[in-house]
Amino acid sequence: MTGTVNGPVAVLGLGTMGAGLAARLLEQGVPVRVWNRDPRRTAPLAEAGAHVADHPADAVAGTSAALCVVSDGEALGAVLHGPHGVLADGPYPGVLVCASTVAPDEVTQIAGDAPSVLDVGMLGNRDHARDGELRLFAGGDKRVFDAARPLLETLGKEVVHLGALGSGMRMKLLLNLLMGIEVQALAEATELAGACGLDRQLVLKTVAGSGFASPVMAFKSRRLASGRFDEPDFRLRLMAKDLMLASKQAATVGLSLPLATAAAETHVRATEQGLGDQDCAAVTRALVPKPETDT
């Protein structure tokens, strides 16, 4: 790190990534105040020394920075502006870090007149969050970024300022677009292999060890090989949301992205089939045709 984190930090939202970030800060000796809509998720962090708050405004009381790591724009708006929200009674005096993946323009709209806001796209999984190995891409005023740098460098091995507010979300959507397409391509290849009589396990092992495999494909190949999609690294419904956001961003600037559009449609269909809370690799189950029934 180039500096130290000054004062307690609030973590709002204790899903896969938020819980990892809070654990990392506690391990580094940073006082942490946490809040989660479902209070049952706060217990492990409370045992590790975190203060559990009753609502977001209570969580940020006396803190120098607040990390918002909730699932979507609606949840982020509620955390910031809802009853007992962070900004419900006026500006937050610390640095407000929006690490929830939302539409880039939505960050500006939700943040409103808050003076010190960054949007941060996080690249990595829960292990990276817990171990301080994330790659973090931030948008916002450079002075705010410089003030938050010690905190961000506690959480990530690479910290990059991209430009104006919304830039972090734009980078995050690009990265998730690539991951969504790659994982679906791997799932499609695997289903085709099985349908053609090839050994699925051998095919996945071959792909994972080949020059075609990105680290993500090698990682997700283990999910596909096991057929287990519980305890998700990244929920399928969140991937569907991000692919839709990327497609909408493309339409806004007049681009046609056929692969992104197709992947978004597949992930939305998989979510509608009840796979939304499983790992995004469960998209493979949306590729298998359902057996026909007699009428």
Among residues 292, 290, 235, which one has the least CA distance to residue 267? 235
Residue in this structure with the two tokens 């095919």, named with its chain if needed: 203
Two structure tokens written together for 246 = 């990327």
Query: Amino acid identity, residue 125?
Result: N
Are 165 and 140 in contact by the 8 Å Cβ rule? The answer is yes
CB count, 10 Å around CB of 242?
26
Extended strands (E) in the chain:
9-12, 32-35, 51-52, 65-68, 95-98, 117-123, 134-139, 156-163
Residue in this structure with the two tokens 């989660």, named with its chain if needed: 36
HSE-CB of 221 using CA atoms within 13 angstroms: 21
Residue in this structure with the two tokens 């799932």, named with its chain if needed: 187
Clarify whether 157 is annotated catalytic: no
Catalytic residue among 142, 172, 241, 248: 172
Percent helix, strand and coil across the chain, each to the nearest 5: 55, 15, 35
Are 108 and 85 in contact by the 8 Å Cβ rule? The answer is no
Q: What is the largest CA-CA distance in the chain?
A: 69
> What are the catalytic residues?
172
